[in-house]
Amino acid sequence: MRTFKFLSLVLVVSLLLSACGGGASKEVKIAILAPLSGPVPTFGVMTRDGALLAIEEWNAKGGVNGMKIVPIVEDSQCTPDPAANAANKVIDQDKVHYIIGEVCSKASIPISDIANGKKVVQISPTSTNPSVTVGTDGKVKDYIFRACFIDPFQGQVGAKFAMEKLGAKTAFIMLDQANDYVKGLAEFFEKSFTEAGGTIVGKETYTSTDTDFSAILAKIAEAKPDVVYLPDYYNIVNLATKQAKEKGITAPFIGGDGWDSSDLDLAAAAGGYFTNHYSPEDTRAEVQNFVKAFGAKYKDDSGNPKVPDALAALAYDATNLMLQAIKDAGADDPTKVKDALTKITFNGVSGKITYDASHNPVKSATILEVTKDGIKFNSVVNP
């Protein structure tokens, strides 16, 4: 028992020392909370790699405000409890003031409650759930931001793209009423499309277990809309676009990032467009430099440069946003950094970012085009 007490005392003292150790003013710690295990480990790896790349680039330029940046990576598993534990660990033990993460909304929400309570600035790169930045009481969490746009915003961009780039005047909406993601996108699409002078010629609902869309498609063939908005996941898109081709429907289908999957049936969905966060084929200098730097640092299993996906791009942007805000604030002070973030204008890989009152970024979206040979970059649409 004695030995145990002694050992635990040694342990506590050593932890305290390690936490206080290292020149406190000479370096700034940034925690990266990513799901390196759990259901989506590939998301976690991409997020971590994107964030580490940003930190490495800043350190190569001499750090931020003369301070060296020290990343602390923790596995938060895309699961609420491990995420909360990881957040407590980095804040209480490692004394970080800045958190990049998590990927999943359900993990980001518990982290955001802890971080906001302890006045630690958090930027989630990819969590789209509105309650990450806005509490259940409807009040914005002062210290919490995100780098991605929230889901319904894609509907707005989709409508704008349909009208401006495709010259659409009429649209038909297909939606799954039971799916909040689909419903959110469809609502915003409808709102933006009608506000800009377009007409919704029809709106039909289905359920997620449906495989036969013939009746809806027969109505579409009759209504002859300029575009069909179908903001669902790839499995529904595969079925609906395939049956639409059989019915000879030529109106292009437009969707959201739910289409973004290697399982998207390219032959069926060819001619369709969807909104997404980013495309590695975007020709802007920010994107091309990022893709080059990422490929130089990370290789895939066969030694080829890795192509960063949207997760890596958003993690890179989130980290850059944080460091830029620290630089703008001029000090390692979370309260000043969060104020700097609300006023920031930042040219990131995923577009030009400013923040609205709910700490959601106002930024451009990328439009991708589905062709028989693959998914191609089409254009960037500003809101």
Residue (207 or 358) nearer to another protein, CB: 207
Residue (195 or 210) nearer to another protein, CB: 210
Closest C-alpha among 69, 86, 141, 81 to residue 112: 141
Residue (68 or 242) nearer to another protein, CB: 242
State in angstroms the smallest separation of the CB of 224 from another protein. 7
State in angstroms the smallest separation of the CB of 37 from another protein. 16
Looking at residue 368, its amino acid is L
Rounded CA-CA distance 372/153 in Å is 28
Residue (271 or 305) nearer to another protein, CB: 271
Q: Which residues bind another protein (CB under 8 A)?
A: 177, 204-207, 209-216, 218-219, 221-222, 224, 233-236, 238-239, 242-243, 245-250, 263-265, 268
State in angstroms the smallest separation of the CB of 235 from another protein. 3
State in angstroms the smallest separation of the CB of 306 from another protein. 23
Residue (224 or 343) nearer to another protein, CB: 224
Residue (212 or 300) nearer to another protein, CB: 212
State in angstroms the smallest separation of the CB of 202 from another protein. 12
State in angstroms the smallest separation of the CB of 49 from another protein. 25
Residue (269 or 323) nearer to another protein, CB: 269
State in angstroms the smallest separation of the CB of 169 from another protein. 16
Residue (11 or 218) nearer to another protein, CB: 218
State in angstroms the smallest separation of the CB of 171 from another protein. 16
